[in-house]
């Protein structure tokens, strides 16, 4: 079978390897059907993901069909359609014990620290896969994992219908957070530098869209919130300066959720946090959000399909990456197909 492997930073290839035959009693063998390309896959390719190790089969937004079931797995069967959870945690450390296994002390992420799902077949423990409706198309189902990121953001931000949420960045994750925010019933202001993405945001229900290259964000935020500021900010771009700006437009008692992986420091005064009792919270991967997101997908409560801008056969992965690098404006989410 073929896998997509990053041998060393900058060196990605389609490699022929043996089909896995190590299906343990608690494992399942999944024939991969579709997998999304994520910004973090590109970072691993370029050597700019500080936590990745090499060589690595990448890919963590993976769905497929079960073709073999270990003898001790009793809740899944051959033919089931499943989504694979990339989070591998110990179950015993402090974060695991309080239900936050996504930041396990010995966290491993499939496709980052261990081999992932850009492969024709993968063996995974039965407890790491979730059954999905057969009515979902494979490409849209590949969006389940990215939507768990949005569900996690909403949990970290404690977003309710009473909030006004500012989402900084209308890339795939920003547009996913927007959909989750609107599902909850909160008001959503979203920013970007590209009008094309903001048009899509409007179509997905954004209440206010702001092109920060030509509009003044604080002006608009304070006008929209009667001078209060937004109650939640989601920083989905990962720029140190945006975190500094976010603090200036957050309401007292507000929450700021950060998703960025930058190692560059933001310049923030303690006073800005203390005087308004702001909560600045990280959001990483997801903590047990798969069942909820799958229910949303199965019930067609979201519009994942509008985020898919391109589909490629997985053997054309280099073409897909080329497109992301040369024409990022035309790309939202690319899904690789494995049929
Ligand atoms: Zn991802
Ligand atoms: Zn743990």
> What are the tens digits of pLDDT across the range 97-149?
999 999 999 999 999 999 999 999 999 999 999 999 999 999 999 999 999 99
pLDDT (tens digit per residue) in 91-106: 999 999 999 999 999 9
pLDDT (tens digit per residue) in 155-188: 999 999 999 999 999 999 999 999 999 999 999 9
| For the CA of 109, the nearest ligand | 1
Q: Report the separation in Å between the CA atom of 87 and the middle of ligand 1, taken as the mean of its atom positions.
A: 11
Q: Specify the pLDDT at position 339.
A: 87
| For the CA of 108, the nearest ligand | 2
Q: Specify the pLDDT at position 334.
A: 98
Q: Report the separation in Å between the CA atom of 143 and the middle of ligand 2, taken as the mean of its atom positions.
A: 26
pLDDT band at 312 (very low <50, low <70, confident <90, very high): very high
Distance between CA atoms of residues 213 and 192, nearest Å: 8
pLDDT (tens digit per residue) in 252-263: 999 999 999 888
Q: In the chain, where are the structural domains located? A: 2-147+286-337, 158-282
**Angle at the Cα of 248 (from 244 to 254), degrees rounded to 5?**
105
For the chain, percent of residues with pLDDT exceeding 90: 97
Distance between CA atoms of residues 44 and 56, nearest Å: 9
Q: Report the separation in Å between the CA atom of 207 and the middle of ligand 1, taken as the mean of its atom positions.
A: 26
For 158-282, CATH number? 3.40.50.720
| For the CA of 259, the nearest ligand | 1
Q: Report the separation in Å between the CA atom of 148 and the middle of ligand 2, taken as the mean of its atom positions.
A: 19
Residue 50 has pLDDT above 90, yes or no: no
Q: Report the separation in Å between the CA atom of 121 and the middle of ligand 2, taken as the mean of its atom positions.
A: 27
Distance between CA atoms of residues 172 and 181, nearest Å: 14
Dihedral angle sign, alpha carbons of residues 88, 94, 99, 100: negative
Domain 2-147+286-337 belongs to what topology?
Quinone Oxidoreductase; Chain A, domain 1 (3.90.180)
Dihedral angle sign, alpha carbons of residues 195, 159, 307, 282: positive
Q: Specify the pLDDT at position 276.
A: 97
Q: Report the separation in Å between the CA atom of 270 and the middle of ligand 1, taken as the mean of its atom positions.
A: 32
Q: Specify the pLDDT at position 328.
A: 87
Which residue bears the tokens 């590209």? 194
Strand pairing category for 27-37 and 11-16: unpaired
């Amino acid at each position: 079978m073929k896998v997509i492997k990053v041998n060393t930073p900058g060196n990605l290839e389609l490699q022929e390897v043996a089909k896995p035959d190590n299906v343990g009693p608690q494992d399942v063998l999944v024939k991969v059907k579709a997998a999304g390309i994520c910004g973090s896959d590109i970072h691993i390719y370029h050597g700019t993901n500080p936590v990745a190790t090499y060589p690595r089969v990448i890919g963590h937004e993976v769905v497929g069909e079960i073709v073999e079931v270990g003898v001790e797995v009793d809740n899944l069967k051959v033919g089931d359609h499943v989504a694979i959870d990339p989070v591998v945690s110990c179950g015993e450390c402090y974060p695991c014990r309080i239900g936050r296994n996504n930041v396990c002390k010995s966290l491993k992420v499939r496709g980052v620290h261990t081999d992932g799902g850009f492969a024709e077949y993968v063996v995974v423990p039965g407890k790491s896969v979730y059954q999905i409706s057969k009515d979902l198309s494979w490409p849209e189902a590949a969006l389940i994992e990215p939507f768990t990121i949005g569900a996690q953001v909403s949990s970290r931000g404690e977003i309710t219908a009473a909030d006004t949420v500012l989402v900084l960045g209308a890339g795939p994750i920003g547009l996913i957070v927007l959909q989750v925010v609107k599902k909850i019933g909160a008001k959503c202001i979203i920013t970007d530098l590209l009008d094309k993405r903001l048009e899509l945001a409007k179509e997905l229900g954004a209440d206010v869209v702001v092109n920060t290259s030509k509009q003044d964000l604080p002006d608009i935020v304070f006008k929209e919130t009667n001078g209060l500021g937004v109650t939640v900010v989601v920083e989905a771009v990962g720029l140190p300066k945006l975190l500094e700006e976010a603090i200036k437009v957050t309401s007292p008692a507000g929450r700021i959720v950060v998703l960025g992986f930058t190692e560059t420091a933001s310049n923030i005064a303690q006073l800005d946090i203390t005087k308004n009792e702001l909560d600045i919270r990280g959001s990483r991967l997801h903590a047990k959000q798969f069942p909820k997101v799958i229910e949303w997908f199965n019930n067609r409560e979201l519009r994942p399909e509008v985020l898919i801008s391109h589909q490629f056969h997985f053997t054309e992965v280099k073409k897909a990456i080329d497109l992301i690098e040369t024409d990022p404006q035309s790309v939202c989410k690319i899904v690789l197909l494995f049929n």
